Amino acid sequence: MKKYFVAKEGIQKGPWTLDEITQNIQSKVLSWNDYIYDEKVNVWLFLFEFPSLTEAFNKSFKNPVQKNKTLTNFDTYKDRVWYILKSNENYGPFTAAEMIQMLQSRTLFEFDFIWRQDLSSWQRVSDVEDFKPERIKEIYNISADQDDDIKKTFFRRRFPRVEYKCELLIHDHQRVFSAESIEISAGGASFKLDQVNFEIDNQIYLHFKPGGDVPAFNATCKIVSKNGSKYGVAFTTISNTVKDQIVKYTKKAA
């Protein structure tokens, strides 16, 4: 049975079989963020990105990732098939449109790891063809004029987003929360809110307290992205006067 060398805190261990490696992870001798040497490509990889350990890794989460959908004849842009790895937890599934939205709002980064069940292992966003800059540009150029969903995904192309710190109140007709904004644009904003689980497409209402050159204002919003405690929203109702002031602020701050 094939054996592999692993590295923990700079110290090489093994060689061990995959079963032994899995047992060592379960007993806390190793963690998924330790390394394994892949002789096929002559590089050290995280244990969680080694193809032969993908299934075991996906089962290790509090909410295991299940292969519960056959990826045949699916819409590569609109179907929820993508998972994101953040702080040793998985989030998803997301559509490619939502993933692009998160890349644009900087809640997902090129160095983050993502997975879809037809991939042999978790891969960095930058290594996945669907999310390379040229592919995203191609999607926009070909489809934005014909597809309203794609047009909405790229709203940041029309509305530059800048850092914006202020307190805000959030309510969903049932509860009221206090949060802190992260960024703002004339088309939407992002904020951080702990211990709350809004879902994509949920409608919420925001009250922004004054910040920078932008006065206090109210906005009806739709959740368009989420990553842990960070959410991105698109404004669905906002006054034109406030929108103009936000445009001036973003141009000045950019």
Residue 201: exposure state from Cβ atoms within 10 A (0-12, 13-18, ≥19):
exposed
Last residue of a domain, one of 125, 155, 185: 155
pLDDT in tens, 3-52: 999 999 989 999 999 999 999 999 999 999 999 999 988 899 999 999 99
Residues 91 and 105 in one domain: yes
Domain count across the chain: 3
The token pair that represents 196 in the structure block = 């709350």
% of the chain beyond a pLDDT of 90: 38
| Residue 43 domain boundaries | 4-50
Average pLDDT for the chain = 85
- pTM across the whole model: 0.60
Residues 163 and 248 in one domain: yes
Residues 167 and 226 in one domain: yes
Residues 131 and 165 in one domain: no
Looking at residue 158, what is its pLDDT? 54
- What does R_g of the chain's alpha carbons equal in angstroms? 21
How far lies 247's CA from each of 178, 187, 219, 237, 241, in Å? 25, 9, 15, 16, 10
Here the CATH number for the domain that contains residue 231 is 2.40.10.220
Residues 143 and 204 in one domain: no
- 62 in a structural domain: no
Last residue of a domain, one of 155, 183, 203: 155
Looking at residue 23, what is its pLDDT? 96
Residues 150 and 163 in one domain: no
pLDDT in tens, 215-247: 899 999 988 877 778 888 889 899 988 988 998
